[in-house]
Amino acid sequence: MFSKILIANRGEIAIRIIRACKEMGISTVAVFSEADRDALHVSLADESYCIGPAPAAQSYLNMDAILMIARFCGVQAIHPGYGLLSENPEFAQRCEQAGIEFIGAPADVMRKMGDKDMARRTMRQAGVPVVPGCDLVATLEDAIREAKQIGYPLLIKARAGGGGRGIRRVNGESELAAAYRSAAAEAQSAFGDGALYMEKLLLRVKHIEVQLLCDRKGHVVCLGERDCSMQRKNQKVIEESPAVCVSGELRKQLTETTALAAREAGYVGAGTIEYLLTEDGQFYFMEMNTRLQVEHPVTEMVTGVDLVKSQIRIASGQPLTIRQKDVRIDHHAIECRINAEDPANNFRPSCGQIGILHIPGGPNVRFDTALYQGYSIPPFYDSMIGKLIVSARTREDAIRKMQAALCEMVIEGVNHNAQMHLDLLCEPVFIDGSYTTDYLANRKA
């Protein structure tokens, strides 16, 4: 087992990893930007080092600076969390070249599955159903020709996409040219890769993802599914597990398909395969996330499996201690992403100093956050300031518990979206579980 790990991230996920390491007796090294000198992860780690100015490109994405600190501190491994460098195969490869274990998927797997077009082809070869569409389109003329074959409406997607960027909906041929150029420009700016492919837009679908763990011995364990269909602009808002729409037989199919896909990809570590589920019960591979997900606590709450500790053990060469037959899901969990933004003002990001802060508590209530009273939220990073997670024996009880926790939460000093979550949890389509990915886009304010 490792004796010292560097966390190449910030915010709540850095704190989550630090806590897991402390419980495992592992020393931690934090890195931070000049804007994060007063961040909580800086004070919780055993050692902390500034690696650059506020912009992420000059700090949290600065591979040279991170690896320099890692060598200086003598760490055996680096945990990238999610976002930032977590799915960067170059960083994983550079860690390996430096003799430092990258706590995540192997670089070659990240390249294969991070390339959305290649991932689709890999899944097709494995017999996994994929959303109807086409491979990469090199020109607008190619896109027009392929679109006629696919049919409208459709989605233009970036090969290197993530976080909802590089995606455009096209309802008809008159919209295609503008959407194609816009998606390519955004993808080039966000990922340095403007390559695009297209998929049929499946309407009224559920976004279902399956959590998996894979060790270096070839063992694969699926830890149930999460329903991530409550989304705004392709960004998840609320996640829950298990999914109301997934029957026992469908769960078995998803588990077997996910395990097959993971083996085909040669996967190692914690990962997630995302599917679109249609109203008639058909599911299609959408993408694979070769990292820890923001919503991983939902799975932890219903299975009792610590995913961060599992990642660390797998990276150190230890085999999984559980098998598929050991997985038991007897609770229901819900997660609300709490963002510093103003839903009443087009979700404008909010910054400021935290005044009164009251975190809800009670049995099976968890708030993963980096907030503390007096902390000033910087304007340079993602607006998510915490994740509120609850679990209960039944979904009905979990909804009530989340409603109570949201009512109890107090965060003064910035605008946030807790009231929006409370409103959504009270709506009939959430209560009966019938909401789909297009619900928020069509919802009347």
Residue numbers annotated as active site: 291
Strand partners of residue 235: 232
Alpha helix (H) ranges present in 362-417? 395-408
* Closest residue by Cα to residue 384 from 43, 20, 14: 14
Q: What distance in Å separates the CA atoms of residue 385 and residue 341, rounded to the nearest whole number? A: 10
What is the residue whose two structure tokens read 């300031």?
A: 385
Question: What is the pairing mode between strands 410-411 and 357-358?
Answer: antiparallel
Sheet containing strand 27-33, edge to edge, reads: 47-52, 27-33, 4-7, 77-79, 101-102
* Closest residue by Cα to residue 330 from 400, 427, 397, 420: 397
Q: What distance in Å separates the CA atoms of residue 166 and residue 183, rounded to the nearest whole number? A: 5
* Closest residue by Cα to residue 114 from 290, 297, 316: 290
| Lookup: tokens for 385 | 């300031």
Question: Which pairs count as long-range contacts for 143-152, CB under 8 Å and 24+ apart, including other chains?
Answer: 143/176, 143/180, 143/196, 143/198, 144/173, 144/176, 146/198, 147/173, 147/176, 147/198, 148/173, 150/198, 150/199, 150/200, 151/200, 152/201
Q: What distance in Å separates the CA atoms of residue 346 and residue 355, rounded to the nearest whole number? A: 24
